[in-house]
Amino acid sequence: RETSRVECGEAVERQLVSNPARNKEYLPITGVADFNKLSAQLIFGADSPAIQESRVTTVQCLSGTGSLRVGGEFLAKHYHQRNIYLPQPTWGNHPKVFTLAGLTVQTYRYYAPATRGLDFQGLMEDLGAVPSGSVIMLHACAHNPTGVDPTPEQWEEIRKLIRSKALLPFFDSAYQGFASGSLDKDAQPVRSFVADGGELLVAQSYAKNMGLYGERVGALSIVCKSADVASKVESQLKLVIRPMYSNPPIHGATIVAAVLKDSDLFNEWTIELKEMADRIISMRQQLFDALHARGTPGDWSHIIKQIGMFTFTGLNSEQVSFMTREYHIYMTSDGRISMAGLSSKTVPHLADAIHAAVTKAV
């Protein structure tokens, strides 16, 4: 299984379909109230001071992409800085979403091809040089496309720098629980930024961690300095959403809310979610072991050091083309592969292809 929807999510869906009281009326502009409340608790923690002090406003959006777009347009209309800095590289849709929302996209160094790891020095230098008040896009966990995340210690240095320059963090949380298998661990970077009392935005997606890709279930939360500001922010978010898509869809968000508020369903989901994360981690280990057993030239430890669905293999475009031509393996030209697409049966074939590409491809 590559998603965790199959059991707890489908059980909820069957109940919803058979409920005679269920209707298809419009939702409020901000979406399902329980979904919003529970989504904020999931990412920030139920005991979050920001939630307890009513400094968080959350609106249901069209998955992670829609949440990013609503947040971007809100910033373009109301924030004093129009620059948003994205890690290089980042998810291919990020620049398009924020540009069309009205922001000016810039980049900061993130990935170091030589080590196939984090360019922490470059990242800190670039963030240290950006104008005060700029928006900084951060991947909460399982960075897409590299699979490279900062360590907890590096996250703390990043947080201190961002706060010292009064930069505004905007987190994209597409893989909570799907990276390490722990919902709390994957949310820790976001929670550390909330704990210092500063403002931030976070876009959540339930596509991966609940397998609700086609239902387009997401949320945008904005942590503000006070409850009064949060209330005003929500009213402005409604003005962004209303002419964009009027109100969000009901079905997927109702499924998520049902899972999150029922302790038995929630526990079942967390177990399934850990199974999914552990399977991907296992695929990483199996691929690394297979390459090591073949004596494939190079250091492939980055495969097990990286985390999440994706891995930057370090293969170049010529090697990727060779694998497509000779082994009928298809991946993006930058060498990124989806670990979720691997199985124990296909790992040997991929390892053979990588070995041949490294040793034979020009």
pLDDT in tens, 261-316: 999 999 999 999 999 999 999 999 999 999 999 999 999 999 999 999 899 998 99
* pLDDT at 153 exceeding the cut of 70: yes
Q: Which amino acid is at 306?
A: Q
Q: Under DSSP, is residue 1 helix (H, G, I), strand (E, B) or coil?
A: coil
* pLDDT at 182 exceeding the cut of 90: yes
Residue pointed to by tokens 């720098």: 161
pLDDT band at 255 (very low <50, low <70, confident <90, very high): very high
Instruction: Compute the average pLDDT of residues 329-347.
Output: 92
The pLDDT, as a whole number, for residue 283 is: 95
The answer to whether the peptide bond before residue 89 is cis (omega within 30 degrees of 0) is: yes
pLDDT band at 125 (very low <50, low <70, confident <90, very high): very high
The pLDDT, as a whole number, for residue 136 is: 98
Sheet containing 135-139: order of strands: 56-62, 217-223, 200-205, 168-173, 135-139, 83-88, 104-109
Separation CA 165–CA 173 (nearest Å)? 23
Strand partners, 304: none
pLDDT band at 99 (very low <50, low <70, confident <90, very high): very high
Separation CA 225–CA 84 (nearest Å)? 21
Taking only Cα atoms into account, the Rg of the chain, rounded to an integer number of angstroms, comes to 21
Three-state SS letters, 205-274 = ECCCCCCCHHHCEEEEEEECCCHHHHHHHHHHHHHHHHHHHCCCCCHHHHHHHHHHHCHHHHHHHHHHHH
Separation CA 16–CA 262 (nearest Å)? 14
* pLDDT at 229 exceeding the cut of 60: yes
- Work out the mean pLDDT of the chain and round it to a whole number: 93
Instruction: Compute the average pLDDT of residues 147-174.
Output: 97
The pLDDT, as a whole number, for residue 37 is: 98
The pLDDT, as a whole number, for residue 2 is: 45
The whole-model pTM stands at 0.91
81 touches 72 (CB < 8 A):
no
Count the Cβ atoms, other than its own, within 10 Å of residue 52: 10
pLDDT band at 8 (very low <50, low <70, confident <90, very high): low
Among residues 268, 278, 303, 275, which one has the least CA distance to residue 289? Answer: 303
Tokens of 48: 């979050």
* pLDDT at 228 exceeding the cut of 50: yes
75 touches 237 (CB < 8 A):
no
Q: How many residues does the chain have?
A: 362
Instruction: Compute the average pLDDT of residues 216-223.
Output: 98
Among residues 360, 289, 306, 302, which one has the least CA distance to residue 144? Answer: 306
* pLDDT at 152 exceeding the cut of 50: yes
Active site members: 91, 172, 208
